[in-house]
Chain A
């Protein structure tokens, strides 16, 4: 996977994760162009599209679009389920996740993503294991606070 973007129906970027080295300028341009392209598509259209030399896989959950750019040999359907699993993880962690949770706790959204995907590849696909790792970290915080 080359990058993952989360954006709202209004085109506001909520999360961006880049797995290939790109300059800040290129990132901005890609996000802008791609957000526009996807927002212009109609609801019943297919979740995949060719975009430049990448395959784009996207899905909308309520007011948020989740969008991944993968390489030519990557599997579209499994990427779609990567998105779904990430949504499930957020949902479980926040308890019925909504866009606001991701806005106000953006750092958590990044931490959860890092536990699930690393370097653009699935690191741990078990929902239990990912959440365990995140909860452990939260616990660690509390322990430290107790000690101090």
Chain B
């Protein structure tokens, strides 16, 4: 046991600590501690009043036990008692215990606050400091409530000792961070700012932390600090290394204060006052110059302190981003550090250069260091330094060096530390896409990525390559060829199988001409991987197979055989089984035309921000990838892939290849309301044949053109329609849901149509085309009568064809001024139709927008002064005339009500559109 050097010793405590250290095992330690706890408890509970020394000793032992990691649930009261002791060390131990083991017991807090209040008003600076330290250490809301008013007064009072001011400043900072609403500087603001001028360097050092925090929250109120900070900085920077006496640290004058001053200036833009700015630029130049001077000491502390100021100055230069000369000098300085023998400096230089790379003034200068950075990525022994190098390569990447950087990052990935692989993969994927000039390079890069680091390739990455291949027909053949080759590898990553399955399913036909990649070879290659894959991938492959049947009829028999096998059709996984059953059925009952329509090539994806970028942003937090955000205009190809499964009946997370999504342009006869495949084989259709006109389906088609118009147990009628100007064409699909023929199938329309086949085979579908011309505006829809015999019974169905006046809308874009001018022109009472009605669906913005767009009008942004409202404009095209139409929809979310107003040049049109639309929300 070493002798206690100074202050008072507590022999009992020292003995106890020795005992603990001598314990041979954890059990022995716990035993010793429990013995001590029992002893202390009995002393505290005993009849004999403890003297201050014993109380202090026991409280200190409890503290020691707590710091060892054990729970302490008593002794708080004794510690609070110590606070009011008139012996300094007893008080000090009491405060230490409270600071470390603060208890939210409100009774205790009141007592503690009382003791603190007494010490704050004692005018004894040592006691005042102890009390302030305690507040700063605890920093609770209760303390802020009790003392936030008092401390600013202590801080600025003329007669407060320097050491108390220092504690008061930082104490206030802690309270402000915890409860900003309780700390009101108000009248003290200017006097606090002027602490920057204080004679005592320690006061300035402490106060500036407070000022920086307050400035960053209320820059305007504190902006006078800028010129004060600049002159203070200037005095320090130009002082000789001995001027500041004990505030000089290893020959560097006031390094902490200098850093804090530079940091404070980063809360503000460059000073507007020319003289202040000149002085500051001079300071920054001096700091950069000093970096070139020979060191005044060989000690690492000297260079660390000096470089700490240098890096802070560079941060300020980057923050201003307005002095090209300084930016380039900063970059050169960092360039020197990139090869410094100190690992710490290399690390910081890489980190700091990352931000320099995003400045237009220094981007080129940063790029000149590419070889050094690549070398760092390859040779640094510390993974955190390599990580910085990878970050910097990412930041300095542009079109000119993308291929080199991506290649280096890929080769680094092969040996990269596990902890950074996923982020590296995302970065490579983003760079490859962002700077892809030829898309075959992009495809190669992503496939390499999967090959090298398949496990770290997240869904976003492989979704993305598929989106891009689908959207760019110039790369589809190459992609098919490349994945085909990649799949030849004996062991390939499951993500490769996913991409391969999707791409061959869509574009396998592009390479089928080559006998080495004939349809059957492609299929066998994919299927050889099937058994090694997880359920979602198998599901994807099954979808690829049905696409193969469509693309290559010659594979039908082989694939049906596979689908029919027990391992598929009786698979214990419900998703796989369902797919096998449905695809088998689809391939055997649907005509080639229907199959071709259902399995039509994927439509291009809507262009949106890359979901990979979003993922990286999420990983790195905001700001980390701001560079990419700013030049979004470069990313013409960015689209978003919606990974949600669209099959309403199956909650499985597998990405659905058929892409039966409502947002994509409808492909073939896939109704947007749900999956056709599900609907066709659904057992639970509406029951019984209806007589009379069925109008349920009719209103659902006001805002959409495709979907299922009618369905019962026997028959499903799907619709696909398109309109241009006053003409339209409607395809009706009559699907026989039974296995028995419909005989004498006959449809009549009160307008002329081509007749349909009189026989509809079981499970088959017939198609009917109706050409429509709008002669003048109308209200009644054409009626469709369907008659057929099923078994012996005659079925009769009457439907309103969903042809409504709004189908002939041409959207009209217009500016706000035009809109209001026209709105005013249509102000006669009969030109307006208005309805106020209750919402019968949710009031989701996106859904509302989709419906208004579906109506056929243009949705005008930034026209209505109230952003909650929607305004639209369009012209209805009839053969007789054109009718301009303006619309305004005002949702009231609180009341769940809408007000819909239509104005058009024709009263019947206003009324009809208003009636139709009012039923849609």
Contact A129 B202 (CB under 8 A): yes
**Given known A124-B166, A133-B163, contact A118–B246 (CB-CB < 8 A):** no
How many Å from the CB of A112 to the closest CB on chain B?
A: 11
Contact B381 A75 (CB under 8 A): no
User: Given the complex, which residues of A lie within 8 Å of B139, measured CB to CB?
Assistant: 21, 119
Closest to A31 in B: B69
In the complex, whether B308 has a CB less than 8 A from a CB of chain A is yes
Most buried by B among A53, A93, A125: A125
Contact B14 A118 (CB under 8 A): no
User: Given the complex, which residues of B lie within 8 Å of A127, measured CB to CB?
Assistant: 246
User: Given the complex, which residues of B lie within 8 Å of A133, measured CB to CB?
Assistant: 129, 163
Contact B255 A78 (CB under 8 A): yes
A73 to B249 alpha-carbon distance, docked (Å): 22
In the complex, whether B133 has a CB less than 8 A from a CB of chain A is yes
User: Given the complex, which residues of B lie within 8 Å of A47, measured CB to CB?
Assistant: 343-344
Contact B133 A75 (CB under 8 A): no
Contact A111 B96 (CB under 8 A): yes
Q: Mark B244-283, 1 if CB is under 8 A from A, else 0.
A: 0111010000111101100100100000000000000000
User: Given the complex, which residues of B lie within 8 Å of A128, measured CB to CB?
Assistant: 246
User: Given the complex, which residues of B lie within 8 Å of A129, measured CB to CB?
Assistant: 163, 202, 246
Closest to B176 in A: A119
User: Given the complex, which residues of A lie within 8 Å of B105, measured CB to CB?
Assistant: none
Contact A107 B174 (CB under 8 A): no
A144 to B171 alpha-carbon distance, docked (Å): 28
Candidates A13, A45, A93, A107; contact of B381 at CB < 8 Å: A45
A42 to B385 alpha-carbon distance, docked (Å): 13
**Given known A126-B247, A141-B88, contact A46–B17 (CB-CB < 8 A):** no
Contact A126 B89 (CB under 8 A): no
Interface size class of A (residues with CB under 8 A): 35 or more
In the complex, whether A122 has a CB less than 8 A from a CB of chain B is yes
In the complex, whether B38 has a CB less than 8 A from a CB of chain A is no
**Given known A78-B305, A121-B209, A126-B202, contact A46–B1 (CB-CB < 8 A):** no
In the complex, whether B288 has a CB less than 8 A from a CB of chain A is no
A141 to B136 alpha-carbon distance, docked (Å): 23
User: Given the complex, which residues of A lie within 8 Å of B254, measured CB to CB?
Assistant: 125
**Given known A119-B174, A122-B256, A138-B7, contact A46–B385 (CB-CB < 8 A):** yes
How many Å from the CB of B497 to the closest CB on chain A?
A: 35
**Given known A46-B344, A111-B96, A138-B7, contact A78–B259 (CB-CB < 8 A):** yes
How many Å from the CB of A132 to the closest CB on chain B?
A: 9
Q: Mark A74-103, 1 if CB is under 8 A from B, else 0.
A: 011110111011000000011100001101
> Which of B60-68, B398-406, B802-810, B902-910 participates in binding chain A?
B60-68
Q: Which of B194-217 contact A (CB under 8 A)?
A: 201-202, 205-206, 209
Residue total for B at the interface (Cβ-Cβ under 8 A) = 75
Candidates A80, A94, A114, A122; contact of B133 at CB < 8 Å: A114
Candidates B202, B249, B259, B385; contact of A75 at CB < 8 Å: B259
User: Given the complex, which residues of B lie within 8 Å of A145, measured CB to CB?
Assistant: 8, 87
User: Given the complex, which residues of B lie within 8 Å of A124, measured CB to CB?
Assistant: 163, 166, 202, 205-206
Contact B87 A46 (CB under 8 A): no
Most buried by B among A28, A41, A78, A126: A78
Q: Which of B60-93 contact A (CB under 8 A)?
A: 60, 63-64, 67, 69, 86-89, 92-93
Candidates B86, B136, B209, B385; contact of A144 at CB < 8 Å: B86
User: Given the complex, which residues of A lie within 8 Å of B867, measured CB to CB?
Assistant: none
**Given known A48-B348, A104-B17, A141-B7, contact A84–B301 (CB-CB < 8 A):** yes
How many Å from the CB of A28 to the closest CB on chain B?
A: 7
Contact B88 A45 (CB under 8 A): no
User: Given the complex, which residues of A lie within 8 Å of B385, measured CB to CB?
Assistant: 46
In the complex, whether A63 has a CB less than 8 A from a CB of chain B is no
In the complex, whether A106 has a CB less than 8 A from a CB of chain B is yes
In the complex, whether A136 has a CB less than 8 A from a CB of chain B is yes
Chain A to chain B contacts (Cβ below 8 Å), 24 pairs: A19-B174, A21-B139, A28-B69, A44-B343, A44-B382, A47-B343, A48-B384, A76-B311, A78-B256, A78-B304, A81-B308, A105-B5, A106-B64, A108-B7, A110-B96, A118-B136, A118-B167, A125-B202, A125-B256, A126-B246, A133-B129, A136-B126, A137-B88, A138-B7
